[in-house]
A and B are shown apart, each in its own frame.
Chain A
């Protein structure tokens, strides 16, 4: 390969640019970490916070000492864990029969599912249905609304279709019925795609603000994103009124943000590969 002078200059400029870009991308998060580790007074004074000032864990101690953060954590974990498990179960149980070429009325079922990708009832009609199902102000609202998406069914169906049919046939010969085959043979074979979908669904549920905000008004049902929103809005109102309380200082907000972000920060570096795979799976269909 020829490395001309201009090519080297380009490399240099390109690398510096990407380095700067990475720094800009990191800065807001880094600053937030710094603030969360600074004292209340220093955090209030503001600044660029390239480093914590008057290093202290007091903001974390404060927020982790409140009941509401643990209640919100519990709700968020419940929604994420139960919601993801159920979503995987019902997405695959819907996809497996549709992957069978011989299934009668297969195209009817497919149309029913695919049509939901391009048209939906919209916010108000969905809200009214949720009301009638008595799901408003229950944690199940979030789980129900994110249980099965047409998109995930299609991804799953394509994966199952690519599995070798002989396995299934030999299990049939042994007298296993399709439901047993689904649970004991197909689901284990689907592990790679299940892992990718699980990550995807879990992040979506963990970060879900919109639906939690609309469907859960009960204080005991607050999830982490909604709690964070309440704290931030509270701080803005207090600062407009010229008051300040312990619950909503800059450093406590920063600590709450990091506590919310922590699970994602913890798994992201290790599972990045699966996230990327998920993104590509999605785009193939689009």
Chain B
């Protein structure tokens, strides 16, 4: 068999087609030049403040010296990771991160669901709105402020400790500190987190309730068999996404509330990286620890997102 040899005319037309396509492309770009002009600052911003730091991650594999800069510092292989995995403090921080996150997940994930269900059962709109206004507010109180309030509230002189027969502030007690983390976060976020569930509940078709009531269903039945299944999709998606963030405990809360008495149970990866990096200036070592956290976090996130998508497509039940 002989291959069809392209004639000169054909190849010429092909070349000119490529040329016209390139010309069309150029025309498209010129036509959009104003849009590019608008977009440029934004893209430059992301390159400068997000991608340039990613380049800096290389110092986790280098002997970073400030004078030599990121590019000039000599490579060090996996030295910092070896040191990191041998450091007991790192393992304590990792362990605390997972434990605290897990506690928060167990208690602070279901709490807003329960609260949303209860709020939904309030028929008096005025009362409901007042309760909502009050329970949403702590979300806007920063941890610094909340820390100040808590130190005063749980100081030995406040009277609150005496009320519960305690003499040591739970914020200074390694046995109670993690519970305090869970409780204070619950105080701050439980109300605010109901918003998404209440929105999901308000999207339920009221005819479902009417039909069930006709069949003699009581309120428990309605909650159990209509409300809960209807928002189950939202719950599962949020649960999965939340699991993806298990390595992020939140720097502010821990940093504000912890103290030398509870370091052992409270130090998490975020505070560890801060202490080692910013306070002690061990940049390469801290970057290695941070990289470990963000890579494991990224893998978790990608995995949980995939699971969430799977559920989102197929429906839950």
Contact = CB atoms under 8 A, between A and B. Distances in A.
Interface of A: 1-2, 4, 6-7, 10-11, 14-15, 17-19, 21-22, 24-26, 28-29, 31-32, 35, 44-48, 90-91, 93-94, 96-98, 100, 102-104, 109, 112-113, 116, 118-129, 133, 144-145, 147-148, 150, 153, 177-179, 182, 203, 207, 209-210, 214, 225-226, 228-229, 232, 236, 250, 253-254, 256-257, 260-261, 264, 268-269, 272, 275-276, 279-280, 283, 286
Contacts of A25: 134-135, 137-138, 187, 191
A206 to B, nearest CB: 8
Contact of B278 (A11, A123, A145, A207): A123
Contact of A272 (B118, B136, B291): B136
Contacts of A14: 118, 121-122
Contact of A18 (B25, B59, B122): B122
Contacts of B52: 121, 129
B113 interface: no
B152 A125 contact: no
A122 B219 contact: no
A269 B218 CA distance: 36
Interface in B36-61: 36-39, 41-43, 45-57, 59
B196 A129 contact: no
Interface string B103-131: 00000000000010011011110010011
Contact of A21 (B133, B135, B192, B273): B135
B278 A214 contact: yes
A126 B130 CA distance: 43
Nearest to B209: A1
B1 interface: no
Contacts of A280: 195-196, 199
A210 B252 contact: yes
B46 A148 contact: yes
B277 A127 contact: yes
B90 interface: no
Nearest to B118: A14
Interface in B145-191: 145-153, 155-160, 163, 187, 191
Secondary structure at chain B's binding surface: helix, strand, loop or mixed?
Answer: helix
Interface in B1-56: 25, 28-29, 32, 34-39, 41-43, 45-56
A257 B213 contact: no
A31 B151 CA distance: 13
B241 A286 contact: yes
Given A228-B145, A253-B148, A268 B140 contact: yes
A122 B43 contact: no
Given A6-B218, A94-B41, A121-B56, 18 more contacts: A15-B124, A19-B131, A25-B187, A32-B152, A46-B159, A112-B43, A116-B51, A118-B301, A123-B274, A125-B54, A125-B57, A148-B46, A207-B140, A209-B142, A229-B144, A232-B151, A280-B199, A286-B238
Interface of B: 25, 28-29, 32, 34-39, 41-43, 45-57, 59, 70, 115, 118-119, 121-124, 127, 130-131, 133-138, 140-153, 155-160, 163, 187, 191-192, 195-196, 199, 213, 218-219, 238, 241, 251-252, 255-256, 273-274, 277-278, 283, 286-287, 290-291, 293-294, 298, 301-302
B247 to A, nearest CB: 12
B36 A229 contact: no
Given A261-B145, A280-B196, A280-B199, A93 B59 contact: no
A113 B45 CA distance: 10
A129 B56 contact: yes
A261 B141 CA distance: 7
A120 B53 contact: yes
Contacts of A6: 218
Contacts of A15: 122, 124, 127
Shortest 6 CB-CB contacts between residues of A and residues of B: A121-B53, A94-B42, A125-B56, A46-B157, A122-B290, A207-B142
B60 to A, nearest CB: 9
A104 B28 contact: yes
A22 B53 contact: no
Contacts of A46: 155-159
B219 A10 contact: yes
A248 to B, nearest CB: 11
Contacts of B49: 126, 129, 144-145, 147
A94 B43 CA distance: 8
Contacts of A269: 133
Contacts of B48: 129, 133
Contacts of B140: 203, 207, 264, 268, 275
